[in-house]
Chain A
Amino acid sequence: MAEAEGKVIASHSRSAPGAAYARRRWRDRIASVGMAGTAAAFLALFVGISLALLAKSWPLLATKSLLHLLTSSTWRPLANQFGFRPFILGTFWVTGVALILSIPVSVLSAVYLAEYAGRRVRSVAKPLLDLLAGIPPVVYGLWGVLAVVPFVASVGNRTGHSTTGYSILAGGIVLAIMVFPIIISVAEEVLRSVPQEAREASLALGATKWQTVKHVVFRSVAPGIGAAIALGFSRAFGETMAVLMVVGNVPKLPTSIFDPGYPLPALIANNYGEMMSIPLYDSALMLAAFILLAVVLAFNIFTALVLRRIQRRLA
């Protein structure tokens, strides 16, 4: 009897740790597969988005050539005319104004923060930039309507351009401010990654601080600054709400920055309601969304790769 009990106890204690450990390992493996699966699903999602938009635009692309769609200026959906040119130009004009206003201020601020500012200024700057980045676009649009549109109207009318203020310039100004935090934070990070020895080597030869920044620091990471600007561009390119509220939304080719414009995102946002009632209108808007996706994707992939290379080189 005692012997039998002894055997039972012995075999029990040998298998128990084995079973518990096996369970843990099994859990680990399931978790690992689950996570990998999620990551793969995420990638599939990414591809799926592009394909879905393309598929939805197909009916329109099948009837008219892409080239015709991109270059024609007539936008009359009821007459089956879908010329995207005014909208593409509108987007470029607004983005262009935004970048012209934003790049010098952002890059100079980034250089100031990275090379000249003291610890106190830098500690205030980061929360400030986060704040700027977190303000909802609609609030920027509201501010644009309250402050920028009247400003542009008065400047324009005083300089001989009759304008209501709802214009490309207004859109550009609002976008420029929205883009500041992006360019500044990326550019500043890139500048800080230049090793201190490079600066010391230059200063030891008798260069001034500015000469060092101009000839050594900047040159080391010029592609990174380019990437920062490209990120700003892609953000400005796709911004919908804030621009929509101040840009005027008139589908004509703009001739001056005081004219109203009609960027692509605004086109989609303003017309989604009618999209199902007119034939091919939904395809047209989906094509607009696809164009936006394609441009932003191209820019973002490019900047991601450039920034990665810089990180690796200086690591």
Chain B
Amino acid sequence: MPHISIRNLSVTYDGAHQALRNVSVDIPDGQITAVIGPSGCGKSTLLRACNRMLDLNDGVTVQGEALIDGVNILDASVDVTQLRKKLGLLSQKPFPLPMSIYDNVAYGPRIHGVKDRRRLDETVERCLRMSSLYQEVKDRLHRPASKLSVGQQQRLCLARALAVEPEVLLGDEPTSALDPQSAQQVEKRLVELKGDYTIVLVTHILRQAKRVADYVIFLYLGELVEHGPAADVFASPKDAKTQAYFSGEVS
């Protein structure tokens, strides 16, 4: 189980906007950690720093460390493709790859070298079942994934992320683009998966955080304000900013 440990992480965009200021926190294993805070507080940035997706943005300066299994993954010598295999990402807007449903899920294993057809079949079925999409698509696995509904697409993206056998799942507001029913389904999946995976969930919906989180991290304008077990933080927030956020004054 990876031990995710963020130490003094600071991220600046274009030398001007500092999205994260000196954040240090340990993310517990095997639980769902919700990262909450008002918009623009740096939640997505924190997530994207963990799987080195920040590399894709121009003009980003990252300082500090993000230790996963004791290795600082922000170091340039780290193999990002293996890192991203270990940390799966579920984006806000589901984006199926331009291929069939089967190929979408099989894409991950294939690019990491799995060629055996039987193994791929088995992986595809297993992951689709884990995201409870299998029953709905088992008869049309080779049809284009673009024909699925948005809720189905997000579950497909979950299956796709699971197919590379990650240890951590990063969710960047994965239900905010979905209708309430699909959102509920995805939430339920994530709760079921938490024993085997460490899940970090960015969300701006407080009620969702209250429903699913075991651990809570509250960010405000790039700074880590408060963190702790969900029950404690929700029941008795210690910082004034946290209290203001919970009472709806700040969003």
Q: Name B's interface SS.
A: helix
Kindly list 11 other residue pairs between chains A and B, CB separation below 8 angstroms, not including A205-B85, A205-B88: A198-B97, A201-B91, A202-B97, A204-B84, A204-B89, A205-B111, A205-B160, A206-B108, A206-B111, A206-B112, A207-B81
Q: Report A's interface with B, CB cutoff 8 A.
A: 195, 197-208, 211, 215-216, 219-220
* 8 nearest CB pairs, A to B: A206-B85, A206-B84, A204-B89, A197-B95, A206-B81, A205-B108, A207-B111, A201-B95
- How far does the Cβ of B159 sit from chain A's closest Cβ, in whole Å? 12
Interface CB pairs A-B, < 8 A, 16: A197-B95, A201-B95, A201-B97, A201-B157, A202-B97, A202-B111, A204-B51, A204-B89, A204-B161, A205-B107, A205-B160, A205-B161, A206-B82, A206-B84, A208-B111, A219-B98
B side interface size, CB within 8 A: 25
The answer to the question of B235 belonging to the interface, with a C-beta cut-off of 8 Å to chain A, is no
Q: How far is the CA of A204 from the CA of B51 in the complex (A)?
A: 8
A197, closest chain B residue (CB): B95
Q: Which of B82-106 contact A (CB under 8 A)?
A: 82-85, 88-89, 91, 93, 95, 97-99
B contact residues around A219 at 8 Å (CB) = 98-99
Query: Do residues A208 and B81 form an inter-chain contact, with CB atoms below 8 A?
Result: yes
Query: Do residues A216 and B98 form an inter-chain contact, with CB atoms below 8 A?
Result: yes
Complex partner residue of B84 from A195, A205, A215, CB under 8 angstroms: A205
Q: How far is the CA of A205 from the CA of B160 in the complex (A)?
A: 8
Q: How far is the CA of A204 from the CA of B164 in the complex (A)?
A: 11
The answer to the question of B240 belonging to the interface, with a C-beta cut-off of 8 Å to chain A, is no
- How far does the Cβ of B199 sit from chain A's closest Cβ, in whole Å? 16
Complex partner residue of B111 from A200, A211, A220, CB under 8 angstroms: A211
- How far does the Cβ of B46 sit from chain A's closest Cβ, in whole Å? 15
The answer to the question of B53 belonging to the interface, with a C-beta cut-off of 8 Å to chain A, is yes
A contact residues around B111 at 8 Å (CB) = 202, 205-208, 211, 215
A199, closest chain B residue (CB): B56
- How far does the Cβ of B174 sit from chain A's closest Cβ, in whole Å? 13
User: Known contacts being A203-B56, A204-B53, is A198 close to B98, with CB within 8 Å?
Assistant: yes
- How far does the Cβ of A117 sit from chain B's closest Cβ, in whole Å? 14
Complex partner residue of A203 from B53, B82, B93, CB under 8 angstroms: B53
**Interface flags, B148-165, vs A, CB<8A=1, else 0:** 000000000100110010
B93, closest chain A residue (CB): A197
Complex partner residue of A200 from B83, B91, B112, B161, CB under 8 angstroms: B91
**Interface flags, B9-32, vs A, CB<8A=1, else 0:** 000000000000000000000000
A217, closest chain B residue (CB): B98
Q: How far is the CA of A220 from the CA of B111 in the complex (A)?
A: 17
B contact residues around A204 at 8 Å (CB) = 51, 53, 84, 88-89, 91, 161
Q: How far is the CA of A220 from the CA of B99 in the complex (A)?
A: 9
User: Known contacts being A205-B85, A206-B85, is A200 close to B53, with CB within 8 Å?
Assistant: yes
B contact residues around A197 at 8 Å (CB) = 91, 93, 95
User: Known contacts being A206-B82, A206-B84, is A220 close to B98, with CB within 8 Å?
Assistant: yes
- How far does the Cβ of B128 sit from chain A's closest Cβ, in whole Å? 16
A216, closest chain B residue (CB): B97
Q: How far is the CA of A205 from the CA of B83 in the complex (A)?
A: 9
- How far does the Cβ of A122 sit from chain B's closest Cβ, in whole Å? 13
- How far does the Cβ of A190 sit from chain B's closest Cβ, in whole Å? 14
A contact residues around B93 at 8 Å (CB) = 197
**Interface flags, B63-94, vs A, CB<8A=1, else 0:** 00000000000000000111111001101010
- How far does the Cβ of A201 sit from chain B's closest Cβ, in whole Å? 5
Query: Do residues A206 and B98 form an inter-chain contact, with CB atoms below 8 A?
Result: no
Most chain B CB neighbours (cut-off 10 Å) among A206, A216, A220: A206
B146, closest chain A residue (CB): A313
A204, closest chain B residue (CB): B89
A contact residues around B164 at 8 Å (CB) = 205-206
**Interface flags, B185-197, vs A, CB<8A=1, else 0:** 0000000000000
B contact residues around A198 at 8 Å (CB) = 95, 97-98
